Structure 1
């Protein structure tokens, strides 16, 4: 089976995709990962044939504009910022995605490319699988960490996810339909979460049920697989994250998984450190 894995963001997004790719390769599948230029080595070091998106996202994230975006507590500004990044590189990224997904039987994608990847799968008649590193789908146990890390009554927990879906779709609908038109698909008025739900799409939850035991029997569509963890040999090949032992603004660096993958998070963590930090969300959930 030919499987394409699309990932964009930072090391926290691409590293699990590369580990997953190697495991699938060992099980006899043909695997083609695709990511931004700056993160190609994560696949290439493990002998995976990486397709490059044709731009360096890390350079943007390190720029003053990117740092401002990552620190923003305004959901609309955050979403609009990443839409602009995608639009700026739309032509080269679309061509790379189509190349990587050609003849794929299955297309796997993380959250940042969920719309584009599922659209390519629709156009190609391939099966699509989502890959998530934090609870992003509507549920009654946890709020959408993109909006708040506070616990709420069960109906309100679900409502925060639905609200974020609406905000996300409002910010991304035009660019999504521009992408769909470019690959020969009709425009849609339905947010990606609802489209995937209607299609009963499998969406892997790649985090530990120990952190969120309430979701251990969530849904057959959302199996909790545990973290996709690299082997010691893979870690040695990649080297330690450059930010592991550094400090910034007086805060020790700590690993977190979020919409932007691995990024700065204060430790110990004030509640909350950032609207995008799923580590804080998990801590808040376990303390509630």
Structure 2
């Protein structure tokens, strides 16, 4: 079986597919990836064929700075939608040539199902968070502020209806134009077309349970976790061994103002803690030669998070799951989309606190960490860690082999 795994997004969107790719390859299946070019070197190093799609995303990180949401005009959004749909139809078609099944992750995979229809092969849509998928028990994740005309107090079904309307408004014309060009009938509900009535949910059932019963027949596989055997850099090992457990701060692919690095150092000092600061796509720095703060690049989070006092982060699905699996208390500062869900789940589970979605100040960050560094929070985080599963990608690989024997939905 030859599988195409396709996504458009940051590392948090790509890494689960890499985990699945390695599991599929381990059971003798052939795998290809279609993902942004930012990850070419990493994926090439794993020996997985990659078809790059779209522009590099790292240069766009500043658009998602905390407290500075993107401001796009309706015309700009329309042009972006038309461009991304056209790119997807061309690039994914090339990547899928000769494949037996297409797996599409994230809600912006507009073209993948249509191409699977043309090829006559199965198609699977995967979400990494429950609030991506419609349910009467939760409201939809909103990709960008200002993209809904329905108030937050509205009925959840009303908000999902508005969400579907937005999908049609943004992508309906471009999608149907391309469908007609390849001999397919137009669709009237873009979101349902992308998601299907049997989507998969690659999220841990303890951290992010699907609220059964729902309107969809959701298959929850567990999170797709990529094993990481990399040793920590010597400098980081020395820092960790030079005192009590520090606090980790990192915001992944999110943008952030440069002064945030100094706020982090000041906050840690006020609490009598050392800090580890991940540069991330924002290129954060501590602002000087600080002996109580170590600035790092990408490292093995699975190893590091077991040795820190707390993890302060943006609320990506991967970082939240990694911290929970390591038993680390968390402060989540959400900015976009499903990050607000993960922040709330951290609060509900007693794993830490959800910081307001704005650039943290020294006062707000100090207050959040004071709560999170309490012994009862650490004990709760350790208990929850024992419940987080690690076999989601393995389960999904087996399901895909079974799905390949079925007709496309």
TM-score grouping bracket, smaller chain normalisation: 0.7 to 0.9
Larger radius of gyration: 2
Q: How far 1:132 sits from its partner (Å)? A: 0.6
Q: Is the 2:210–2:220 Cα contact (8 Å) retained in structure 1?
A: no
Question: What are the superposed Cα offsets for residues 182-208 of structure 1, whole Å, 9 maximum, x if unpaired?
Answer: 4342332222315754xx4x3211111
Question: What are the superposed Cα offsets for residues 225-252 of structure 1, whole Å, 9 maximum, x if unpaired?
Answer: 222111123798xxxx9856x9745276
Distance 1:102 1:45, change over 3 A: same
TM norm structure 2: 0.54
Residue 287 of structure 1 is matched in structure 2 by 348
Distance 1:181 1:33, change over 3 A: same
Q: How far 1:103 sits from its partner (Å)? A: 2.2
Question: What are the superposed Cα offsets for residues 150-169 of structure 1, whole Å, 9 maximum, x if unpaired?
Answer: 9979xx23332232111121
Distance 1:242 1:101, change over 3 A: farther
- How many angstroms apart in 2 are the aligned matches of 1:219 and 1:104? 30
Matches within 5 A, 1:113-262: 113-135=108-130, 136-146=132-142, 156-193=155-192, 196-197=195-196, 200=197, 202-213=198-209, 215=211, 221-233=217-229, 248=257, 250=260, 254-257=313-316
Identify which range, 88-97 or 31-40, moves more after superposition: 88-97
Secondary structure in 2 matching 1:20: helix
Residue 263 of structure 1 is matched in structure 2 by none
Distance 1:93 1:194, change over 3 A: closer
- How many angstroms apart in 2 are the aligned matches of 1:243 and 1:138? 28
Distance 1:219 1:3, change over 3 A: farther
Distance 1:217 1:287, change over 3 A: same
Q: Is the 2:89–2:115 Cα contact (8 Å) retained in structure 1?
A: no
Secondary structure in 2 matching 1:115: coil
Q: How far 1:25 sits from its partner (Å)? A: 1.1
Distance 1:203 1:127, change over 3 A: same
Distance 1:141 1:91, change over 3 A: closer
Identify which range, 173-182 or 112-121, moves more after superposition: 173-182
Residue 262 of structure 1 is matched in structure 2 by none
- How many angstroms apart in 1 are the aligned matches of 2:73 and 2:39? 22
Distance 1:78 1:122, change over 3 A: farther
Q: Is the 1:114–1:192 Cα contact (8 Å) retained in structure 2?
A: no
Q: CA RMSD, aligned part only? A: 3.8
Residue 383 of structure 2 is matched in structure 1 by none
- How many angstroms apart in 1 are the aligned matches of 2:4 and 2:219? 20
- How many angstroms apart in 2 are the aligned matches of 1:231 and 1:95? 33
Q: Which runs of 5+ in 2 are unaligned?
A: 143-147, 233-248, 265-311, 318-329, 350-409
Q: How far 1:82 sits from its partner (Å)? A: 6.1
Question: What are the superposed Cα offsets for residues 21-64 of structure 1, whole Å, 9 maximum, x if unpaired?
Answer: 111111111111111212223422211011122532333x236x
Q: Is the 2:77–2:170 Cα contact (8 Å) retained in structure 1?
A: no
Identify which range, 179-188 or 43-52, moves more after superposition: 179-188
- How many angstroms apart in 1 are the aligned matches of 2:77 and 2:47? 30
- How many angstroms apart in 2 are the aligned matches of 1:103 and 1:54? 22
Q: Which runs of 5+ in 1 are unaligned?
A: 259-266
